[in-house]
Amino acid sequence: MQVHRPYTLHDALALMAATPTPTPIAGGTDLLVSWHHKPKEKLALLDLSQLGGELAAMRLTADTLELGALTTYWDVIASPEVSRAFPLLAEAARQVGAMQIQTRGTWAGNIGNGSPAADGVPVLMAYDATVVLQSTRGRREVQLDGYYTGYKKTVRLPDELIVAIQIPRRTRKAEWFEKVGARAAQTITKVGVAVVNDEKGWRVVANSVAPYVCRCRNLESALQKGQKFKSPEEIRDILKNDIAPINDMRSTAAYRETVLSRVLFYRLADKA
């Protein structure tokens, strides 16, 4: 196992271009899980924790929130301004694991890890976030919606680092988030959903119901057309083309599909 501990982004990007390609580590809340069961012979870690500066910063301007790659869930929870401007971020942050995880886990890490159950990603995607990737070759911005291409597969190239997440500030008519897990807190999501209706329209983002966190585009367009639903089953029929839930040891496909449509039904009846 190798460990690189750069002090500057410049050095970090240079190291990302090395072979073997290093795995970036920030809070470690995904990577260190069951650590001693993981083979490490070929592992090279790039520790981002000393970069600070730009990567640690959270900037709220008139039209954008920028989360540096080292921003933790706790940073958002502890910032009244950010929590007010983007309430779902704080709400989702409070439901990632428990306090001990929220103080370490980063939003960028949640995106980078690519878990279909990621709790931070649905709200970011519902807020129409952009991922800022950087390498020695330059910097580019990618819509978070479009970042994933398959189970734990993303458009990030091996030498690129997530350096920031940008979220546009818009006027929102509706926004809510619901996480369904096996217990009240400290739980992996069985099904979760974030919904935002802003000047650009509806975005419905679900997790744990597909190989990656995804938008439910058929449902969005139904909502866009102003469709009203008479039963959860109506929503479920539309969702069938949006999601592909599976059976695993945490839940069943039927449960995920049914619960997602029920949660949406009652929430939409309430707030839409």
Binding stretches for another protein (CB under 8 A): 1, 3, 5, 25, 27-29, 32-37, 40, 45, 47, 49, 74, 94, 97-101, 103-104, 180, 182-188, 190, 231-232, 249-252, 254-255, 258-259, 262-263, 265-266
DSSP SS3 for 136: coil
State the nearest-atom distance from the C-beta of 117 to another protein, in Å.
11
Asked whether the CA dihedral 152, 157, 160, 166 is positive or negative, the reply is: negative
101 or 174: CB nearest another protein: 101
Residue 138 Cβ vs another protein, minimum distance, rounded to whole Å? 29
Distance separating alpha carbons of residues 210 and 26, to the nearest angstrom: 26
Cβ atoms of 9 and 54 within 8 Å: the answer is yes
Beta bridge partners of 130: 143, 166
- State the minimum distance, in angstroms, from the CB of residue 243 to another protein: 16
Q: How far is the CB of 197 from another protein (least distance, A)?
A: 20
Q: How far is the CB of 5 from another protein (least distance, A)?
A: 7
Kindly tell me which of 100 and 224 has the beta carbon lying closer to another protein: 100
Identity of the amino acid at 125: M
The CB-of-84 to another protein minimum distance in angstroms stands at 14
> Which of 103, 166 has the CB closer to another protein?
103
Round to whole Å and give the CA distance between 39 and 266.
46
DSSP letter (8 states) at residue 106: B
Question: Which residue, 244 or 254, has its beta carbon nearer to another protein?
Answer: 254
Judged on CB neighbours under 10 Å (0-12, 13-18, 19+), 42 is: exposed
Strand, coil or helix: 19: coil
Phi, psi of 252 (to 5 degrees): -120, 160
With 0-12 CB in 10 A as exposed, 13-18 as middle and 19+ as buried, what is 255? middle
Q: Which is nearer to another protein, 28 or 211 (CB)?
A: 28
Closest separation in Å from C-beta 170 to another protein: 26
d(CA 144, CA 107): 12
When the beta carbons of 135 and 208 are compared against another protein, the nearer one is: 208
Closer residue to another protein (CB): 187 or 227: 187
